[in-house]
Amino acid sequence: MFHIVFYEPRIPGNTGAAIRLSACTGAALHLIEPLGFDLSDAHLKRAGLDYHDLANVRLHPSFDSFVDSLPGARIFAFTGHTSDSFADVSYRPGDALLFGPEPTGLPAAIVSHRSVTSALRIPMMPARRSLNLANAASIAVYEAWRQHGYAESSDFS
C-alpha cells in the first residue's frame, strides 16, 4: 500500500489521528525520531482511539534509516515551497508521502535529499501558513488511494 511518513512530529494528537488514518486506509505510518512526545502520551492514545492495534506504525531513529527501510520507494516531500501539485502525480503502491513537523515543516535539507523523488504542494488559500498535519496526510493518502480504486492492501501484491 502507501506509506505516510512524519518527520520529527511534535504534536501527539496529530500523530494519534495519523495512527487512525493508517488503520482506516491500510497505509503504514512511519515516525522519524526525535518525537516531540512520548508514545504513551494520553493525547496520542485519545486521538488514535482504539485503532493502535489495527495500524502499522514503524519508528526510525533517522531519516536515512527510514530511507534504508524502503529501498527503491518513491518519496514525495510535502511542502509549501514548491508549485508542483500533489494532484498531478500518478501514485504507485509503495510510494511514501513525507510530511514535516508542526509548525516548521520539512527542513530544506530533507526536501532536497537525494532520496526524495519530488516536492509537492497541497493548494490552499493565499496568506495561510499551513494545513493541520493530520489533515494534510489524509488529503494526500486518500488521493493516492483513490487513484487505485480504494483497493485493499491485499490487492497490492
> Residue ranges per domain, the chain?
3-155
pLDDT band at 78 (very low <50, low <70, confident <90, very high): very high
Cα 76 to the center of its chain, rounded Å = 9
pLDDT band at 124 (very low <50, low <70, confident <90, very high): very high
Condensed to tens digits (0 to 9), the pLDDT of residues 45-74 reads 665 556 767 889 999 999 999 999 999 999
Largest CA distance in the chain: 42
Options 1.10.10.60, 2.30.30.40, 3.40.720.10, 3.40.1280.10; CATH for 3-155 is 3.40.1280.10
Query: Which residues fall within 8 angstroms of residue 100, CB to CB, at 6 or more apart?
Result: 7, 8, 78, 79, 106, 107, 110
Percent of the chain with pLDDT over 90: 76
Tell me if 6 sits within 8 A of 15, measured CB to CB: yes
Exposure string of 122-151, with b = 16+ CB inside 10 Å and e = fewer, is beeeeeeebbebbebbbbbbbebbeeeeee
